[in-house]
Structure 1
Amino acid sequence: MPIKLPSDLPAFDVLTNEGVMVMSEDAASRQDIRPLRIGLLNLMPKKIQTENQFARLIGATPLQIELSLIRMSEHQTRNTAAEHMEAFYRPFSEVLASGEKFDGLIITGAPIEQMPFKQVTYWEELKQVFDWTQTNVLSTFGVCWGGMAMLYHFHGVEKHILDAKAFGCIRHRNDEPASPYLRGFSDDMVIPVSRWTELKRDEISAAGLPILIDSDQTGPCLVEDPDHRALYIFNHLEYDSGTLKEEYDRDVAAGKPINVPANYYPDDDPSQPPQNRWRSHAHLLYCNWINEIYQTTPFKMSDIGMKTKDRRSSGA
């Protein structure tokens, strides 16, 4: 089944040309099924690139997905055209006021990871988002800084500044092969890493949270938070083949100190085209997440966030 997108959203043509099944809103309305509603709270400066990356992954599942784009209410982006933001994004304040619910929500990273959480201009509203997910979202996926922020908000686990940027395609291990989120995963895998901060393994474990994917080199990668119906991933399976190259070339052009991303280019030679060795695991992870949502979400959207006994009394 396809992902439902506005026909004039740039991702519609991008994914269609890649062979991803995409359906316009008019066509979707003629199907007598309830699509899964997935929200994307996009905190990245390059909004369109991020839209494409996540729409590609959640659009590869066998279910119909309705993707809703959300932004912080007062924060204005300088990297995406105002017309695009006006046409396709809704401020969180509007989503909150509407009382609507979502089967899933992805909260992206943001290029502010070295800044203390409480100094982020939209931190108070973001805390409101996190609390809102507990009543209006079945499952939340916090990515990179978004996952770190959720972990700090719900459990007080701090991020720690690294001496040097963790940057490259790093080998990770599957520590919980029985997890439904890791169904079909290899025992180890390569995952793109691009961050200046880390989470400590012992601090996550002290919070009682299982670490699903870990790395001796760059630390915990994927953490489950069952009590808050959330997953936190601190690395970037959603990245395109050339995303690390773009980051590297940008820093080189700006004269910033940056290492060649490890294990990314053949023979670590930036003159050669990079190799994508994480694509299959990216699709597996997001397909497994969508499948878990599908298996557990109530048919009535109004029942999302209700306790089981309350859902039974409502006739669900």
Structure 2
Amino acid sequence: MPLVAYKDLPTFKRLADEGRTILPPKRAQQQDIREMHIGLLNMMPDAALAATERQFFRLVGESNQIAQLYIHPFTLPELERSTETKDYINQYYETFEQLKENGLDALIVTGTNVSGEDLENEPFWEPLKDIMAWAHGNVASTLCSCLATHAVMQSRYNQKRSALPDGKLWGVYKHKVMNRQHPLVRNMNTVFDVPHSRYNTITPAQFDAAGMDTLIVSEEAGTHIAVSPDGFRLVCMQGHPEYDAISLLKEYQREVMLYNSGERDTPPSMPANYFNAESIGKLALHNINIMSRDELSKLNEELCCMLENTWTDSARSTLASWIGLVYQVTNRDRKKQFMDGIDPDNPLGI
């Protein structure tokens, strides 16, 4: 399902330069192919906003090559932003009001950073609740990532996240499919990897208490994907299948610099199952705190060639299935949630 470059968003040029399939608007208009419109609520902080945007655009765009995909990024005005980021958002992002007016087929919600333990005190809490309530009755399916999953589990099902006993869970972990009959995961490998990076969790028992169907789990990382009792309208992820090969590396480097500057008390552990001996040796030769931006970029390019990406294929499989299922049940009129005859309480008929 190729992405359509319907606006002058820098991400489209970046992905085209990578060799990704990006349709110019004129070519898209000449094709007699159905459009799909997916909202991307990007709540990530300034430093990660554009990178997260590219990750999801890349993952969705590479998942299938049939329908024309229009991804509509938007964010929450309640989140604190720099002047530069506000200018970027004003130029390239849409507003929730515009998307409500035009309608969406599906919605993706990213995670975000939080300042405290209680999500109800965060500035995103009330506007996110409003968006999720609208989506529940207006889009075929909503896909939540990490913190967004924790927020919706608390607001909709009264299941609050809890702190992980060993602190931060981060790294790449083995997962397996628990319910191979569900069409979202039916075509996946029996065992595959997913990156995680979080301090908190929703336990398998909490997903069960909410009446959700757990589809993918890890012995080390817990539940990765669970779906709402209707089977499809809400898809909750605790992992980060959208991550690039270098995402955990950059996160590790940020943690090291925080420790060396005194902003954290202890040196960070390395992400589990991520660095190999070659990359660890390469890191040991450099002091990233005194490197220029260009030097660090060059180092990361070298490290990226050493790191193994063992999760993107399974991530594409999940996204391809999700988009394909949305395609099967959503109405051609994107202001309507489902095509005629679809039961909202069991849209997949399973």
* TM-score computed with the length of structure 2 as normaliser: 0.82
Structure-2 change in CA distance of 1:101 and 1:173 (3 Å): same
Match of 1:162 in 2: 164
- Quick check: 1:179 aligned with 2:212? no
- Quick check: 1:134 aligned with 2:167? no
Contact 2:8 2:92 in 1 (8 A): no
Query: What count of residue pairs does the alignment treat as equivalent?
Result: 309
SS at match of 2:123: coil
Of 291, 294, 297 in structure 1, the residue corresponding to residue 324 of structure 2 is 291
Contact 1:102 1:301 in 2 (8 A): yes
Match of 1:249 in 2: 253
Deviation at residue 114 of structure 1 after TM alignment: 5.1
Structure-2 change in CA distance of 1:177 and 1:32 (3 Å): same
In the alignment, the residues of structure 2 paired with residue 166 and residue 277 of structure 1 have an alpha-carbon distance, to the nearest angstrom, of 18
In the alignment, the residues of structure 2 paired with residue 95 and residue 83 of structure 1 have an alpha-carbon distance, to the nearest angstrom, of 20
Structure 2 residue ranges without an equivalent (≥5):
284-302, 345-350
- Quick check: 1:207 aligned with 2:210? yes
Considering fraction of residues, name the structure with more strand. Answer: 1
- % identity of equivalent residues: 29
Match of 1:281 in 2: 314
Match of 1:314 in 2: none
Matches for 1:1-316 after TM superposition, within 5 Å = 1-6=1-6, 8-45=8-45, 46-60=48-62, 61-62=64-65, 63-78=67-82, 81-96=85-100, 98=101, 100-112=102-114, 115-163=117-165, 164-227=167-230, 229-255=233-259, 256=264, 257=266, 258-267=268-277, 270=280, 271=283, 273-304=306-337, 308=341
Structure-2 change in CA distance of 1:235 and 1:208 (3 Å): same
Contact 1:48 1:80 in 2 (8 A): no
SS at match of 2:156: helix
Which residue identity lines up with residue 239 of structure 1 in the other structure? Y
Contact 1:10 1:48 in 2 (8 A): no
* TM-score computed with the length of structure 1 as normaliser: 0.91
Taking only aligned residues, the RMSD between alpha carbons, in angstroms, comes to 2.2
User: 1:20-46: CA deviations, max 9, x gaps?
Assistant: 211123432333333100000000122
Match of 2:347 in 1: none
Which residue identity lines up with residue 211 of structure 2 in the other structure? G
Deviation at residue 305 of structure 1 after TM alignment: 5.6
